[in-house]
Amino acid sequence: MKLRNIAIIAHVDHGKTTLVDKLLSQSGSFRENQRQEERAMDSNDLEKERGITILAKATSVEWKDVRINIVDTPGHADFGGEVERILNMVDGAVILVDASEGPMPQTKFVLGKALKVGLKPIVAINKIDRHDERHQEVLNEIFDLFVALDATEEQLDFPVLYGSGRGGWMAEAPEGPQDKGLEPLFDLIVKHVPEPDTAGKDEPFKMIGTILEANPFLGRIITGRIQSGSIKPNQPVKVLHGDGTLLETGRITKILSFRGLERVPVDYAEAGDIVAIAGLSKGTVADTFCDPQVNEPLVAQPIDPPTVTMSFIVNNSPLAGTEGDKVTSRVIRDRLLKEAEGNVALKIEEAADKDSFYVSGRGELQLAVLIETMRREGFEIGISRPRVIMQTGENGEKLEPIEEVVVDVDEEHAGIVVQKMSERKAEMVELRPSGGGRQRLVFHAPTRGLIGYQSELMTDTRGTAIMNRLFHSYAPYKGELAGRNTGVLISNDAGESVAFAMFHLEDRGPMVIESGTKVYEGMIIGIHTRENDLEVNVLKGKKLTNMRASGKDEAIKLTPPIRMTLDRALSWIQDDELVEVTPKTIRLRKLYLDPNERKRHSKSSKAA
């Protein structure tokens, strides 16, 4: 059967996974009576809850006499490492662009990577049925983007389709016809995307690992594209690291080929096909799986460096071990190293004290997803505030990561966004209307200034703004930023919080816990209205006497506490605070629980 390998790449929420659903259903991958889940490729629990794609995944559809292997990719810049890895598996790409929003930062990022490896993309302008669609302007913006990214003459001659992924149709004209469904897209993929290069079919087997996952029955499963040769079950192979060192030798126990949403065992696979293999215990992403006679590894795509780091600390609070069963540094280390094997955009370093680990990634979202996954597995950890990774320039100057930030906002709120961004040392590079009474503001802002800004932006614009970020470059350090302007309320004792005490503390600031919550000395229980931290007693109950009160006691009504989600807590805390993450609870605490120790460290840091 003829083969085509394509990736569907786009900015977040431009409709990649929904389009894959329709491609699967219209190609006959489902039975007529089979129940179809929405966004079937988003199989991970966190992907379903957040409504985003986190992991790149492969599937395949059959169209006429051609099998099309499709790789669905994440749209968030934080998961850009997933996109960079899979581009060496495919021969073509469908760039999906929203007919109203147009090309966004992540579109620019993935398109730049696709053009660099020589792919000739197909442009699909999606959501053409939106009331505020502006397909002609969007097409011009896409062409300008191709030119700005140094596309070749051949790449600039890209085919364009218009349609609606949700509606399940694509056509050469914005008005349709709609009755052919996605047939024009299938036909264009077959016609425009080149067949995989099978010239090396008779050479020894070589494949580079691209996606790693664990299976309880088969062990490690590595997905990749066979670059040369062919493989059969029980065939001896070896694994070479990027520098040519031998990692292991072994035999392939299973070869799995993609058939719709299923993976089917096959007895043979050859150059050009995308398959998953099992049977090796050490080989991982970016390693070369090859015939024993091969000595030269394949060259893996270079991955952009991480820009943000956090400390993962063994939970040492008085409540440690009461909710989770994975609390020791050895278990946490093994889990983090296992994660870094499959996620090449993550970097793990062990601290000198052996009780904490520096985990570096592309952004807070990527690290928050890892933390959320670990807490669901039963881990208890303390997490520090995200810090940006600085670099040193040629002249010894300090360089910091700068991001390109695109904010779409209603005109009435544009002023406050510009003001807040300038406070965070951002420079505005573009301001233009984006249709429907909205404006698009483009900034170049330091990454550290953006930590925690998302929730503030939502409050300032009453939830109407959409912010997108993408790493731009390293630039000279822009100086100190103003930090959080409020202190915290800290519990001065251990026990259970009492409603009576909390009611009388409400004047001091809003609470982040409810009454009846277990607290300990040094735990943050509220936000102080002033700049300093304040130690308070939340355990104090009402004095009971045998004297009757002349007036009837009123029931205490507490103001509902501020809900601290994981993402919000990570962006809100300061350098001397931690987020304590357990399977059931997210608590905020001071790094040093003892008040005397806190004073000593604050004095020494001021002196430094």
13 annotated ligand binder: yes
Q: From CA 38, how far away is CA 605, in angstroms rounded?
A: 53
Is 447 annotated to bind a ligand? Reply is: no
Check the annotation: does 128 bind a ligand.
Answer: yes
Looking up tokens 């070749």 gives 152
Give the C-alpha separation, 12 to 14, whole Å: 6
CA geometry: angle at 174 spanning 132 and 133, to 5°?
Answer: 10
> 3-class DSSP state for residue 78?
helix
Measure the CA–CA gap between 17 and 52, rounded to whole angstroms: 9
Residue 452 CA to residue 587 CA, distance in Å, equals 17
Taken in order 475, 480, 484, 485, is the CA torsion positive or negative? negative
| Exposure class string for 590-601: b at 16+ Cβ within 10 A, else e | bbbbeeeebeee
Residue 18 marked in a binding site? yes
229 labelled binding-site residue: no
Which residues have a Cβ under 8 Å from the Cβ of 582 and sit 6 or more positions away? 315, 319, 322, 323, 324, 375, 380
Contact yes or no for 368/385 (Cβ under 8 A): no
DSSP code for 237: E
The H or E element containing residue 90 is: none
Q: Find out whether 225 and 276 touch, Cβ atoms under 8 Å.
A: no
Rounded Cα gap, residues 162 and 72, in angstroms: 20
The candidate with the shortest Cα–Cα distance to 456, out of 478, 484, 476, 434, is 484
Cis peptide before 177, with omega less than 30 degrees from 0?
A: yes
Tell me the β-bridge partners of 275: 224, 257
How many residues make up the chain in this entry? 608
Structure tokens at 259: 């058939």
Report DSSP state, residue 91: S
Q: Where are the beta strands (DSSP E) in 436-550?
A: 438-446, 466-476, 488-491, 495-496, 518-519, 523-527, 534-536
Asked whether residue 165 is marked as a ligand-binding residue, the answer is no
- Whose CA is closest to 34, among 266, 256, 261? 261
**Annotated binding-site residue? 416:** no
Residue 468 annotated as lining a ligand binding site: no
* Closest residue by Cα to residue 433 from 102, 193, 127: 102
Task: Give start and end residues of each alpha helix (H) in 61-173.
Answer: 80-86, 105-116, 135-148, 153-156
> Is 129 annotated as ligand-binding?
yes
d(CA 25, CA 527): 51
Check the annotation: does 14 bind a ligand: yes
At residue 379's C-alpha, the angle toward residues 375 and 384, to 5°, is 75
Output the CA–CA distances (angstroms, integers) from residue 379 to 44, 179, 237, 371, 566, in the order listed: 19, 52, 36, 9, 14
Binding residue positions:
13-18, 126-129
Known binding-site residues for GTP equal 13-18, 126-129
